Amino acid sequence: MNDVEDVITIDGPAASGKSSVARRVAGELGIPFVSSGLLYRVAALLVEEGAGDPGDEREVMARLTGTVVRLLPSLQGDRLTVDGRDVTDGLHTDAIDASVSAVARHPRVRAWVTERLREIPGPFVIDGRDMGTTVFPGARAKFYLTAPPEVRARRRVGERAADLREVADAMRRRDRLDAAQSAPAPDALHIDTGDLTLDEVVSQVMDALSGVGAA
Ligand code: CDP
Ligand code: CDP
């Protein structure tokens, strides 16, 4: 297992800025960035490809354990392969957004993802929902990003060229379904990114890291 002292966690809801901030912070520190959501998204993709039921835990697990899933951390953007096939570009679709929370609520799926993440050698910056609570409770530094729901919806519309109301509804639904694993770690530094630029968030994180000797 990786040394948790080498891990920096950045959790928060959809479009709070986790992955953009985590990637930039990792770049400044010269260490890899890992997006834990990709593993849940790949589980949803395998179910979708097999026209399976995301609500059936046994079926989701059968698909996951019947394939070799590799997460390849990279500053240019993590890649995800399934039996050597690069599936990364198909992981951020509306269909996966709509089914991923149903897959992510299964305890055995969560245990499978947690195990994969703990195998990754540190140091790295990792983003997700429960990185600072369940997966790396002993991490060196923890951040929890938030932003008002309407700001988050507007950000996602910018990325997906979609209708604002539909995106806001889908995001609210995902927030609700993800609530069980989304509580902030008690020792995480909260940053409301709503009125901040990406640069400002990154510099707040870097300042906090220099305070704990991690930057
Ligand atoms: O970037 P965004 O927050 O939209 O998505 P993501 O981080 O790729 O996560 C996709 C989904 O995976 C979330 O909606 C959760 O259902 C699940 N997830 C989770 O349960 N725990 C994590 N640590 C990361 C993601
Ligand atoms: O990973 P997560 O879903 O939390 O959010 P993201 O994909 O990193 O960010 C969503 C969008 O908001 C990206 O296009 C960012 O450039 C933008 N953004 C941000 O993340 N933080 C700000 N303070 C301002 C904009």
Among 34, 196, 14, 15, which Cα is nearest to 126's?
A: 34
DSSP 8-state secondary structure symbol assigned to residue 5 = G
Q: Which atom of ligand 2 approaches the CA of 145 most closely?
A: 4
Q: What residue ranges of the chain have pLDDT lower than 70?
A: 1-5, 213-215
Q: Give the number of whichever ligand sits closest to the CA of residue 157.
A: 2
- Quick: pLDDT tens for 84-97: 999 999 999 989 99
The answer to whether domain 1-31+123-215 and domain 36-121 are alike in fold is: yes
Pocket of ligand 2 (CB under 6 A): 12, 14-20, 155, 158-159, 193, 196-198, 201
Q: Which atom of ligand 2 approaches the CA of 13 most closely?
A: 4
Gap between the Cα atoms of 190 and 212, Å rounded: 16
Q: Give the number of whichever ligand sits closest to the CA of residue 15.
A: 2
The structure's pTM equals 0.95
- Quick: pLDDT tens for 53-65: 999 999 999 999 9
Q: Which residue has the tokens 């195998």?
A: 119
CA of 61 to the centre of ligand 2 (A): 31
Is the CB–ligand 1 distance for residue 78 below 6 Å?
no
Q: Which fold has domain 36-121?
A: Rossmann fold (3.40.50)
Question: Would you tell me which CATH number, out of the four given (3.40.50.300, 3.30.300.30, 2.40.110.10, 3.10.580.10), belongs to the domain 1-31+123-215?
Answer: 3.40.50.300
